[in-house]
């Protein structure tokens, strides 16, 4: 009797392998709309229908589908017409990166009328890391946000993401949504020790496993050290990493790589590798790591590796003082000092890290290795691979498909190096895809910070002195450690005027899972401390916290001064901070929402400032060309991972060329398409790459008008661009005819644009919460959430609002429950979503998002960045509201329900005189 399964009405008879789940069975047959997000039935990205019932296919045995009918997202549409749920997600743009969207579509399509009335329960099995859930709710409820395109007038409108139809039909291609003939699979053996030297490694048993083709160890790795962090200037990061090392420095570090015909064979090969370790002393606390006699994480030459003080485990440090804080505190009438701590947070992008490498022979030039990776930095990754393996640029091509979320975590070269090493050894295609568990112990996290703040003020509310001591735990490797540390004490201090400022900051090695780039890049951790202290100073002065901030924030045209020094290319090119605080003031004045009887109610706010790009330059190139059919090809290097840059770039080009966005095709995230692009990080997708697109589009518009005038025998100033033509007086020449005329004349109608990322502007944000707390249980309910964002000219309000909401949701997760925990041996104990606790639909309130009326003099068409900045003021606004409600100042994140209850119980015990202990 044959297995017999129908997938989207197509019959398949091939029996599944023993133990195979339905997800892999479907993907192996080309149904790539079924996504891998968690491996454990926690995220819902793999949801399909079996005989009409939704199931998580990653935990559904494929054998159980025998004789049944399976529907994936690709089969949801019928007779060429989208399913109503698919159309709803298109109309509301209920997605960003889109990796979770197929799962939401399949879950929603199976809901009955009663279930639709309780979406928090209906969506308890689905996660989204990007949207903040409001857009998903709107999609389900039939709310339409998308506008129809029209010629020219594109910027400032809610135009749809070009990949929308592919996202909702499951045909958008992410990193592994391709069929590579002859593909081999890699699995990694990882260290069980926080610190050890490998004294012996035997691969013979692994090589005897049927299907195993290669085992790589430190003996096979280049001796060269590098950093996994990707920056335009590689010298920003320490060279402390090898592809495979004979010393391991954290639990989870890769020890060996096994390549085989199947994942199962590669996993078995890993189990057969025999490793002998000399276990060494380890240190997990950064303060202890700086003490004399602490185990040294990297005993390297300081200058060669660019480590500040290797023997003290200090990878980077910054010390600066403006004026004299001693004098400032002496002049203060109130002084407040406190220590704050923030935890490790995982990026939790639903598409895990991964890459596949193979060889191709271009029509011209030498054979080259091609790397398809889930990366935010294809060009920088190519450059790093070439340096690591001594290859010329033309022998490496790096590209990204659609990237399923990033948040800074994919501003790293974590997988590409080992994949390329294996592909070069075997001259075969090789794939490495992280499991969800590996994301927690084999990728990076946000840096845990300890921040000591001391601040003084006069009775009139003016600040006299600000002092910070910051210790950042960068983990076992220094990728991004110095840069995050430097950035953390920049705009967080510069946004406030004070004649005396001092900062001492340290990025410290420990034997813990490495930290890296994360949304906000260190500012979120220090802003949490700084804004908490501003509230406490206001209390000591009996002042309104909002009024206290208004008296001390910098104004338009004022220098941005921090102890690290004034950055010459950083300017307040538009100023909306006063408007942001005005929004908070208006929100406070409105009637309060109802709270349960007996609950404590409070409100709080916080503000933040962030540069619209990293210092030292961030390069973007763009090229736009007229095609034979009269449409336009826009080539940009920046990656799309839900940040929406693809949409914005089309809007910019359409506006400058007088056409509609649907006449512009975007090619991106590929080192073949343009000269260079630093990458999609540091909030640069719109303000840097967008400016390159603007310049290319303006240049092409001039080229088209000039050539049309020459061709028609007229004057350039009398020509006008139309949607698909150039008009001269009463004559119109179609763009496709203009292309043909240019071809006959030996001309190419194309133009390039470039921007180096400097000068830079700043963006402002303010967050306000009103919340209620149950003193008997510690439960917190958000009654109202308001966010004010100064994004300059908002290019796409629908999309920008989604970025703000997603940032708030991610920040609330970090505020309330997200915490990558390590045990006393340095082992991550929260290596699954059900242990880690991401925000779900039911956890996130609808936030009222307000955009300020400003236009930036630096950003393209007046725009500023808005992908990172909404994250930063959320935690302090929340804990300030919690302080207002409970009287307790929480100084450590996350403020979990049990911590809140314990603090309230302790306060009640002290007030009542009850003895302590439970």
For residue range 84-117, what is the model confidence (pLDDT) as tens digits?
999 999 999 999 999 999 999 999 999 999 999 9
Q: At what angle do helices 481-488 and 523-540 cross, to 10 degrees?
A: 20
Question: Does the pLDDT value for residue 532 go beyond 60?
Answer: yes
Q: What are the structure tokens assigned to 486, written together?
A: 């430097």
Q: What are the structure tokens assigned to 779, written together?
A: 């439960």
Question: Does the pLDDT value for residue 918 go beyond 60?
Answer: no
State how far the Cα of 224 lies from the Cα of 389, in Å rounded to an integer: 9
Residues 6+ apart with CB under 8 A from 298: 238, 240, 249, 305, 307, 310, 313, 315, 478, 509
Mean pLDDT on 378-390 = 98
Decide: helix, strand or coil at residue 895.
coil
End-to-end CA distance of the chain: 64
Identify the CA nearest to 422 among candidates 138, 213, 169. Answer: 213
Residues 6+ apart with CB under 8 A from 326: none
| Contact criterion met (CB below 8 Å) for 860 and 687 | yes
pLDDT of residue 507: 98
For residue range 624-645, what is the model confidence (pLDDT) as tens digits?
999 999 999 999 999 999 999 9
State how far the Cα of 401 lies from the Cα of 419, in Å rounded to an integer: 17
For residue range 176-222, what is the model confidence (pLDDT) as tens digits?
999 999 999 999 999 999 999 999 999 999 999 999 999 999 999 99
pLDDT of residue 151: 87
Question: Does the pLDDT value for residue 699 go beyond 50?
Answer: yes
Question: What 8-state DSSP symbol labels residue 117?
Answer: T
Question: What 8-state DSSP symbol labels residue 446?
Answer: P
pLDDT of residue 1: 52
Query: 44-48, 745-749, 908-912: which range is least confident on average?
Result: 908-912
Cβ count within 10 A of residue 2? 11
Q: What is the DSSP string of 344-387?
A: --B---SSPSEEEEEEE--SSS--EEEEEE--S-HHHHHHHHHH
State how far the Cα of 409 lies from the Cα of 814, in Å rounded to an integer: 15
Residues 6+ apart with CB under 8 A from 672: 397, 399
Q: Is the pTM of the predicted complex or chain greater than 0.75?
A: yes
The pLDDT-based confidence of 916 (bands split at 50, 70, 90) is low
Dihedral of CA atoms 676, 680, 684, 690 in degrees, nearest 10, equals 60
Question: What 8-state DSSP symbol labels residue 582?
Answer: H
Q: What are the structure tokens assigned to 902, written together?
A: 């314990």
In the block, residue with structure tokens 């006393």:
824
Q: What are the structure tokens assigned to 864, written together?
A: 């500023």
Q: What are the structure tokens assigned to 667, written together?
A: 């090619």
For residue range 6-32, what is the model confidence (pLDDT) as tens digits?
999 999 999 999 999 999 999 999 999
Identify the CA nearest to 444 among candidates 828, 126, 42. Answer: 828
For residue range 138-161, what is the model confidence (pLDDT) as tens digits?
999 999 999 998 888 899 999 999
Handedness of CA 268, 271, 274, 277 (dihedral sign): positive
pLDDT of residue 591: 87
State how far the Cα of 874 lies from the Cα of 108, in Å rounded to an integer: 30
Q: What is the mean pLDDT of the chain?
A: 96
Percentage with pLDDT > 90 across the chain = 95
State how far the Cα of 552 lies from the Cα of 404, in Å rounded to an integer: 41
Q: What are the structure tokens assigned to 150, written together?
A: 């029209």
Compute CA 782 distance to the chain's CA centroid, rounded to the nearest angstrom.
Answer: 25
Question: What 8-state DSSP symbol labels residue 646?
Answer: H
Cβ count within 10 A of residue 704? 22
351 to 49, 128, 129, 257, 274: CA distances (angstroms): 21, 11, 10, 21, 31
């Amino acid at each position: 009797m044959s297995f017999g399964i129908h997938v989207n009405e197509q019959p398949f008879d091939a029996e599944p392998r023993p133990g195979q789940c339905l997800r892999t069975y479907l993907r192996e047959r080309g149904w790539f709309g079924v996504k891998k997000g968690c491996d454990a039935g926690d995220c819902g990205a793999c949801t399909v229908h079996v005989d009409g019932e939704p199931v998580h296919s990653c935990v559904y045995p494929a054998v159980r589908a025998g004789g049944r009918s399976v529907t994936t997202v690709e089969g949801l549409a019928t007779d060429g017409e989208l399913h109503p749920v698919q159309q709803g997600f298109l109309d509301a743009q209920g997605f960003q990166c889109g990796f979770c969207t197929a799962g939401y579509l399949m879950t929603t399509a199976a809901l009955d009328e009663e279930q639709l009335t309780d979406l928090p329960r209906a969506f308890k099995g689905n996660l989204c890391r990007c949207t903040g859930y409001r857009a998903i709710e709107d999609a389900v409820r039939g709310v339409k946000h998308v506008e129809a395109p029209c010629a020219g007038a594109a910027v400032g409108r809610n135009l749809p993401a070009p990949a929308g139809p592919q996202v909702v039909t499951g045909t958008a291609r992410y990193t592994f949504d391709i069929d590579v003939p002859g593909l081999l699979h890699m699995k990694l053996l990882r260290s069980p020790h926080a610190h050890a030297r490998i004294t012996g490694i035997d691969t013979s048993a692994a090589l005897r496993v049927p299907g195993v083709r290669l085992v790589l160890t430190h003996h096979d790795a280049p001796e060269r050290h590098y950093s996994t962090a990707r920056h335009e200037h590689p010298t920003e990061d320490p060279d402390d990493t090898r592809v495979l090392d004979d010393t391991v420095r954290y639990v989870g570090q890769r020890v060996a790589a096994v390549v085989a015909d199947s994942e199962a064979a590669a996993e078995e090969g890993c189990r057969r590798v025999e490793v002998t370790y000399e276990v060494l002393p380890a240190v997990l606390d950064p303060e202890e790591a700086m003490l004399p006699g602490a185990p040294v994480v990297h005993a390297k030459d300081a200058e060669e590796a660019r480590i500040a003080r290797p023997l003290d485990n200090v990878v980077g440090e910054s010390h600066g003082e403006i004026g004299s804080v001693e004098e400032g505190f002496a002049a203060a009438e109130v002084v407040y000092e406190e220590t704050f701590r923030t935890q490790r947070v995982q990026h939790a992008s639903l598409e895990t890290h991964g890459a596949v490498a193979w060889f191709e022979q271009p029509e011209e030039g030498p054979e080259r290795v091609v790397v398809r990776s889930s990366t935010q930095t294809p060009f920088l990754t190519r450059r790093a691979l070439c340096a690591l393996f001594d290859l010329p640029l033309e022998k490496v091509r790096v590209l990204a498909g659609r990237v399923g979320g990033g948040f800074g975590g994919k501003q790293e070269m974590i997988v590409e190096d080992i994949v390329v090493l294996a592909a070069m050894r075997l001259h075969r295609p090789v794939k490495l895809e992280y499991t969800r568990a590996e994301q927690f112990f084999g990728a990076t996290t946000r840096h845990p910070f300890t921040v000591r703040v001391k601040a003084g003020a006069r009775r009139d509310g003016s600040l006299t002195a600000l002092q910070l001591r910051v210790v950042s735990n960068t983990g076992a490797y220094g990728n991004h450690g110095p840069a995050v540390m430097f950035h953390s004490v920049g705009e967080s201090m510069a946004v406030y005027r004070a004649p005396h400022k001092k900062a001492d900051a340290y990025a410290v090695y420990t034997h813990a899972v490495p930290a890296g780039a994360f949304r906000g890049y260190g500012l979120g951790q220090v802003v949490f401390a700084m804004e908490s202290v501003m509230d406490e100073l206001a209390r000591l002065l009996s002042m309104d916290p909002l009024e206290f901030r208004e008296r001390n924030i910098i104004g338009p045209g004022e220098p941005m001064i921090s102890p690290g020094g004034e950055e010459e290319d950083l300017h307040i090119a538009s100023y909306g901070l006063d408007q942001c605080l005005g929004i908070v003031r208006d929100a406070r004045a409105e009637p309060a929402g109802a709270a349960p009887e007996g609950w404590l109610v409070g409100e709080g706010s916080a503000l933040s400032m962030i540069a619209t790009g990293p210092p030292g330059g961030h390069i973007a190139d763009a090229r736009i060309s007229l095609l034979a059919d009269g449409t336009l090809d826009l080539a940009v290097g920046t990656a799309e991972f839900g940040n929406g840059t693809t949409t914005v770039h089309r809007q910019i080009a359409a506006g400058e060329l007088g056409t509609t966005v649907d006449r512009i095709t975007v090619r991106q995230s590929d080192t073949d398409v343009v000269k260079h692009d630093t990458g999609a990080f540091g909030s640069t997708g719109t303000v840097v790459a967008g400016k390159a697109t603007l310049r290319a589009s303006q240049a092409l518009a001039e080229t088209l008008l000039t050539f049309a005038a020459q061709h028609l025998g007229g004057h350039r100033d009398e020509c006008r661009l139309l949607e698909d033509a150039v008009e001269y007086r009463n004559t119109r020449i179609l763009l496709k005819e203009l292309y043909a005329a240019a071809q006959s004349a030996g001309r190419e109608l194309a133009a390039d644009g470039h921007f180096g990322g400097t000068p830079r502007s700043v963006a402002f944000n303010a967050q306000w919460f009103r919340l209620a707390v149950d003193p008997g249980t510690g439960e917190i309910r958000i009654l109202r959430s308001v966010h004010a964002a100064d994004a300059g000219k908002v290019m796409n309000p629908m999309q920008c609002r989604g970025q703000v909401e997603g940032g708030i949701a991610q920040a609330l997760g970090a505020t309330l429950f997200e915490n990558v925990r390590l045990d006393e041996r340095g082992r991550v104990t929260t290596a699954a979503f059900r242990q880690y606790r991401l925000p779900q639909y039911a956890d996130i309130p609808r936030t009222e998002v307000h955009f300020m009326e400003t236009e930036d003099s630096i950003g393209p068409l007046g725009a500023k960045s808005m992908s990172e900045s909404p994250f930063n003021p959320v935690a302090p606004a929340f804990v300030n509201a919690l302080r207002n409600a409970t009287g307790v100042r929480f100084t450590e994140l996350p403020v979990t329900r049990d911590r809140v209850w314990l603090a309230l119980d302790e306060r009640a015990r002290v007030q009542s005189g009850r003895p302590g202990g439970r």
